[in-house]
Amino acid sequence: MSLNKSPNIIKYCVITSTAAIVLIAVSLIPISRKAAYWNRCLDKTVGWINEKEKDLKGWNKEAKESIAVAVCNGAVYEPKFKKINN
């Protein structure tokens, strides 16, 4: 390898690594927004459980957070009743 090509290789490496870092940072922004939204959901759901649900007063903190995680993950749905024909 000649000495003239060394600066070009270094410049290429700096440019490609900088571009890679920028792409990684840009792709992480939506993930961080989703995490912030999910954390807000968890906090608000646990707060709602503590304030509104009298039947869950005996539950410990871990149990309340567990049901809040299920709600924020979308695992708890509104029940749909089926009509039974006799």
Domain that holds residue 18: 5-72
* Token code pair at residue 33: 């927004």
Asked, for residue 59, whether it belongs to a domain, the answer is yes
Asked, for residue 40, whether it belongs to a domain, the answer is yes
Asked, for residue 58, whether it belongs to a domain, the answer is yes
pLDDT on residue 2: 54
Asked, for residue 77, whether it belongs to a domain, the answer is no
CA distance 43 to 62: 13
pLDDT in tens, 50-64: 887 777 778 888 888
Query: Would the pTM count as exceeding 0.85?
Result: no
Sign of the Cα pseudo-torsion (20, 23, 26, 27, in order):
negative
More confident residue, 12 or 4: 12
Domain count of the fold of the chain: 1
Asked, for residue 67, whether it belongs to a domain, the answer is yes
Asked, for residue 82, whether it belongs to a domain, the answer is no
Asked, for residue 81, whether it belongs to a domain, the answer is no
Asked, for residue 85, whether it belongs to a domain, the answer is no
* Token code pair at residue 81: 């009743």
pLDDT on residue 10: 79
